[in-house]
Amino acid sequence: MRSILYVFTGLLVMALAVWAYRQNYETQASLREVSDIRTEIALLRERAGVLRAEWAYLNRPERLTDLADMNFVRLGLLPLRPDHFGHIDEITYPVEPLPPIFVPIEVMSRLENSK
């Protein structure tokens, strides 16, 4: 009986060792993947910063004014001035059309009803 218990205990220890070995490699693989993702995130953030800087450089007011002047004949663009802007309360929004009436309802006033 003891030998069966020893064999069973030995097999259990070996199974746990294999399980721990596999878990160790899975953990290392996950850590490598997280490290790769963090590196990619850092590169993408750096690239986004460069793109924001390029966008700010290309949208300089003096550059846009020069482009509008150069292409006035072809595009008809005018340089922006403060009086070109309006206020939010000056915006007119389109009125939504009423839906069609499929089932008419007969309506009577109180005066017609009392006669």
78-105 tens-digit pLDDT: 777 777 788 888 888 888 888 888 887 7
- Distance between CA 93 and CA 75 in Å, rounded? 28
pLDDT classification of 45: cutoffs 50, 70, 90: very high
So what's the pLDDT on residue 111? 65
Say whether pLDDT at 113 is over 70: no
68 and 79 Cβ atoms separated by less than 8 Å: yes
So what's the pLDDT on residue 7? 93
So what's the pLDDT on residue 112? 61
- Distance between CA 85 and CA 77 in Å, rounded? 15
1-16 tens-digit pLDDT: 889 999 999 999 999 9
